[in-house]
Structure 1
């Protein structure tokens, strides 16, 4: 019998759901509230993260889509993830998110040891003096200080490997990748034609499951091969290999 996803905490601001696995690895999936706003549906990454029951998966949902900026919310999330890490004997954490969830996935390494952080179409900042991306609410005006004004500025203090991907058809998402530092631990891709719902497009083409599995295990060459396959599927076989954007040698 397949394991079920259990709700371990639910209040007005936060929803935590748990999918147990057999390994000592935990994938922390930062979800959106609903498709089209803040990220993917709650269980969008369930199969890709769980790997048929291998990994423990914790789904973290900011129910009011505050970008984790509601007073005390982020510290609560960190404390609960830290508690589950201890209680479940977790030895490795990988984070995963799309859009608003991508911001959360990139932010957690600031507070906890994270092996790899995976983000599709992430917003690295919502500061109106840094970006003219007005697709989202003025979070700082509404809630005050964000956990990180520019999450890219937190990368240098960690040992995490970061995997960021944006769609070439969404200018705003491409611009957000520029807020990530150029570093050998920061891997960035821009895929042809993809728009903000890039993770959904990857899933539709049958790439997403293998892609996330490759990133979880740090197989960067496999990631590049899968992105090449995706490129050929949407652009044709003559499309050149997807370039890695902004890395140092």
Structure 2
């Protein structure tokens, strides 16, 4: 069980087909949070659920947890359809009126894909990759083991959500290997993009351990961008334009050659 989970938090398995594993935690509101897992720390095992306490919102939110053992960045056959079908089933059963999504690393990429496929009010993507496709990001080696197994690229890069009615919040570290992705995301209105200068790909873990992740995610998913911005500021983050204006993009990396620093 993820260290983020409370002992009393009920995370129930749902019917799913490989390579996915889906779980559900009931809430008291009509909001459904879809929480996508990253690659995890053990490449031959199913990634565990992530962000349970943060996503649950002190019991208010219903939460659907999605893990992908193939680590396909939503490119695996039938993965998108299986997630959408499960969301539809939960919506019909519980009368869901608000759908939002959150994810870390690969999970952040997946949350953005979901918003391209269905109506999602808000997305929070923490340390998302813009792409792991070798033609788009030839210098990205951290997830080569997984990307080499992707045969068909339905989503070779993060979808452009500027024409969607979705409030997108992106959180990235300031290290060079994170900025190679961060700099490719749009800068238009609708994207709230924050950079944490002294952080690398372990941003989510760092913010979580300091108790700073929950207020950022919660207020972003609730559609309170001004409050979220203050929470980011309190945690040492900068608006992307501020980061870019204050100094050159770093050329040194905070990450080791290990890819498995994703799990929260």
Native 8 Å contact 2:116 2:159 kept in 1: no
Q: Secondary structure at the match of 1:58?
A: strand
Please say which of residues 175-184 and 138-147 is displaced more in the overlay: 138-147
Corresponding residue number in structure 2 for 1:88: 94
Match of 1:105 among 111, 115, 119: 111
Task: Map residues 60-99 of structure 1 onto 2, 5 A cutoff.
Answer: 60-99=66-105
Match of 1:243 among 239, 245, 248: 239
Is the counterpart of residue 133 in structure 1 residue 140 in structure 2?
yes
Corresponding residue number in structure 1 for 2:129: 123
Corresponding residue number in structure 2 for 1:204: 209
Native 8 Å contact 1:69 1:139 kept in 2: no
Native 8 Å contact 1:48 1:212 kept in 2: yes
Is the counterpart of residue 173 in structure 1 residue 178 in structure 2?
yes
Is the counterpart of residue 188 in structure 1 residue 190 in structure 2?
no
Native 8 Å contact 2:75 2:155 kept in 1: no
**4+ aligned runs moved over 4 Å, structure 1:** 138-141
TM-score with structure 1 setting the length: 0.85
TM-score with structure 2 setting the length: 0.80
Corresponding residue number in structure 1 for 2:222: 217
Q: Unaligned regions of 5+ residues in structure 1, if any? A: 232-240
Native 8 Å contact 2:70 2:146 kept in 1: no
Q: Secondary structure at the match of 1:127?
A: coil
Cα distance in 2 for residues equivalent to 1:72 and 1:197: 30
| Number of residues of Structure 1 aligned to a counterpart in Structure 2 | 232
Corresponding residue number in structure 2 for 1:234: none
Please say which of residues 7-16 and 107-116 is displaced more in the overlay: 7-16
Query: CA shift at 1:128, angstroms?
Result: 1.4
Please say which of residues 62-71 and 158-167 is displaced more in the overlay: 62-71
1:53–1:98: structure 2 CA closer, same or farther, 3 Å change rule?
Answer: same
Native 8 Å contact 2:54 2:217 kept in 1: yes
CA offsets per residue over residues 80-107 of structure 1, 9 Å max, x none?
Answer: 2222222221111110000110110111
CA offsets per residue over residues 61-116 of structure 1, 9 Å max, x none?
Answer: 00221222222222222222222222221111110000110110111011111000
1:138–1:179: structure 2 CA closer, same or farther, 3 Å change rule?
Answer: farther
Query: CA shift at 1:192, angstroms?
Result: 2.2
Please say which of residues 173-182 and 190-199 is displaced more in the overlay: 173-182
Native 8 Å contact 2:36 2:108 kept in 1: yes
Please say which of residues 102-111 and 8-17 is displaced more in the overlay: 8-17
Query: CA shift at 1:244, angstroms?
Result: 3.6
Cα distance in 2 for residues equivalent to 1:129 and 1:34: 25
Corresponding residue number in structure 2 for 1:146: 153
Cα distance in 1 for residues equivalent to 2:135 and 2:21: 31
